[in-house]
Amino acid sequence: MAEPEGPEEAPEDRKPQSDEARSAFVPPAGVEKPAPPEEEHPTSEFSLPAGLTAEPPQDQEGSAFAPPATYSSKTSPPVFTPAYGIPLVRISQDAPWQDRMRTMLRLPVHERPVPEARKEDESGPSVPRVLDLTLRIGELLLAGGEGAEDVEAAMFAICRSYGLDRVEPTVTFTLLSVTYQPSLVDDPITANRTVRRRGTDYTRLAAVYQLLADINARAHEVSPEEAYRRLAEIRRNRHPYPGWVLTAAAGVLAGAASVLLGGGPTVFFVAALGAVLGDRLAWLCAGRGLPEFYQFLVAAMPPAAMGVLLTLLHADLRPSAVITGGLFALIPGRALVAAVQDGLTGFYITASARLLEVAYFFVAIVVGVLSVLYVAVQFDAQLNPEGALRAVERPVTQILASMVLCATFAILLQQSRSTVLFATLNGGVAWVIYASIAVTAEASTVMATAVAAGLVGLFGQLIARYHHTSSLPYVTAAIGPLLPGSATYFGVLAIAQNNLDQGFASLAKAAALALAIAIGVNLGSELARLFMQAPGAAAARRAAKRTRGF
């Protein structure tokens, strides 16, 4: 049988190919396809010709950038080892926790020793809860006037006490933040908190430091829940002194300052009355929600008005002592000391913000006094600045007045009664040193102020280290007699009498005295930390070095 033939392909029945399906590079029918051109370099010029065999590599010195054959990432050495080696930092546990935490903060992260023991078990407390507790305690410290470095040291101590090793706290003027990174491969956890209200209550500050001491002590096991409970009690505690006691203390402070400058009993009562009126006006402005700038402005006007009134009545008194005494309670010495301390320890942003705050308060005082003095000059009030410059030497009276000034200043700062006595004695010693140098030896007042403030900082830091608390209650009130109230008044009076050169020179002197106080206090505190450290902590103190300056 014949096999069936398949269907023959009929070219004429095939569907023609569309133009889109035909390539533009396909030659038309009847044209031969050209041969492909020969490649200029069919092979690499570095490849071996056919038939040759590569020689085995000889033992040559490896590249400096290639890892050795025995390299292992698990047992890899440090990336860089300096010529002098990496020192093994060992911080003595006998040193106060403030010194230990401050030293560790000044160390690079990879050189910080890990904590020897943890407060909890290996799992530890919740990380967000510890960070929140840290921020809340740091907020109370910063709002109470502590320096930025001390606040960072406290935050760092809390985190390490609960087992968080890799933490980095950051403190600015109004913002607190803390970052925790569990490991190099885990995402970091960051929390922050804003400080919106600031208040002066050194009793609350001392309670916070007691809580910090218990958290960092080995003998205490303070859980986060217990710390939260104690922190809530600290926030709920009332101020140790009622409002009328604070107003009376402001009046007595102004009166003691006027006696310190040569005033008598009548000047004392007039200055006290002016300060009480100024304090009540400031409280009224605060109740109406006005900013602190206007509170300082109106508080400076009544003392100036009382001095002008004495001048218009032609009383044989010292109106300059009345006005200057009222300024002593207004000059922001606490904020100035904190600002300079932050600048000297490297927290320049916080220091700039605090110095700007001090400048605003100082301008408010100047504007308030200047407004009253300008009106007095228009009424031909004979305000003689030369009469106020007469030196009055009453050593016993002035020493007692300086101690009363410090005691009332401590009450205004809401200090506990146990710290008022030492602040009073510290201020009396400061005035004796200042008068011995500036009055008896007739030396520079700026130098005398710096030396006296240095002793205040030294003694205050020593007693604070003994009690394991903040040095502010022992230092801030003690610098009260050294505040530049007289230089401020003379400068404002000269400007009101159109003696601009003399006025600005006197205000510059007041600024120099204020900086001398702040630098002296900080230097005294640093000397106490430098020479009163536990054995083995002096070597770690070198970590404070940040830069060579070039």
Question: How far is residue 49's CA from residue 257's CA, in Å, rounded to a whole number?
Answer: 102
Q: Which residue has the tokens 């913002």?
A: 175
Q: What is the pLDDT of residue 389?
A: 47
Which stretches of the chain drop beneath a pLDDT of 50?
117-121, 386-389, 534-550
Other Cβ atoms less than 10 A from the Cβ of 181: the count is 17
If asked whether residues 370 and 252 sit together in one domain, one would say yes
Q: Which positions ≥6 away from 10 have C-beta within 8 Å?
A: none
pTM, entire model: 0.73
Task: Judge if 255 and 299 occupy the same domain.
Answer: yes
Q: Is residue 82 part of a domain?
A: no
How many CB atoms are located within 10 Å of the residue 395 CB? 13
- Output the pLDDT for position 547: 45
Show Cβ contacts of residue 335 under 8 Å, excluding neighbours closer than 6 positions.
145, 354, 357, 358, 361
Q: Does some domain include residue 106?
A: yes
Asked if 197 and 273 sit in the same domain, the reply is no
Q: By the 8 A CB rule, do 276 and 247 touch?
A: yes
Inside any domain, residue 2: no
Sequence-distant (≥ 6) Cβ neighbours of residue 250 within 8 angstroms? 275, 276, 278, 279, 329, 408, 412
Sheet strands (E) in 70-188: 167-171, 175-180
Q: 347 and 170 in contact (C-beta within 8 Å)?
A: no
48, part of any domain? no
Residue 383 lies in a domain: yes
Shared-domain flag, residues 101 and 129: yes
Question: Are 257 and 200 within one domain?
Answer: no
d(CA 323, CA 300): 9
Q: Mark whether 215 and 136 lie in a shared domain.
A: yes
- The 8-class DSSP code of residue 35 comes to P
Q: Is residue 30 part of a domain?
A: no
Tokens matching residue 151: 């606040």
Q: How far is CA 513 from CA 247, 392, 484, in A?
A: 27, 20, 6
Task: Please indicate, yes or no, whether residues 479 and 502 belong to a single structural domain of this protein.
Answer: yes
> Of 402, 534, 400, 550, which Cα lies nearest the Cα of 477?
402
Return the structure tokens found at 542: 């070198």
Domain final residue, candidates 238, 261, 276: 238
- Tokens 């038939």 appear where? 51
Query: Most distant CA pair in the chain: distance in Å?
Result: 155
Residue ending a domain, choose from 178, 203, 238: 238
469 closest CA partner among 162, 150, 163: 150
DSSP-derived 3-state class of residue 233: helix
Backbone torsions φ then ψ of 321, nearest 5 degrees: -65, -35
| Contact (CB, 8 A) for 158 and 130 | yes
195 and 104 within one domain: yes
Residue 191 in 3-state DSSP?
Answer: strand
Asked, for residue 211, whether it belongs to a domain, the answer is yes
Q: Can you read off the two tokens belonging to residue 305?
A: 């008005």
- Structural domains counted in the chain: 2
| Structural domain includes residue 110 | yes
Question: Phi-psi category of 86—alpha, beta or left, where left has phi over 0 and alpha has psi -120 to 50?
Answer: beta
* Domain stop point among 176, 207, 238: 238
On whether both 443 and 474 belong to a single domain, the answer is yes
With the C-alpha atoms ordered 412, 134, 358, 482, is the resulting torsion angle positive or negative? positive
**Helices 202-216 and 127-143: angle between axes, nearest 10 degrees:** 150
> Is residue 183 located within the same domain as residue 283?
no
- Answer positive or negative: Cα dihedral of 283, 289, 290, 291: positive
Residues 337 and 431 in one domain: yes
pLDDT at 298: 92
Domain containing residue 481: 243-528
Clarify whether residues 419 and 492 are in a common domain.
yes
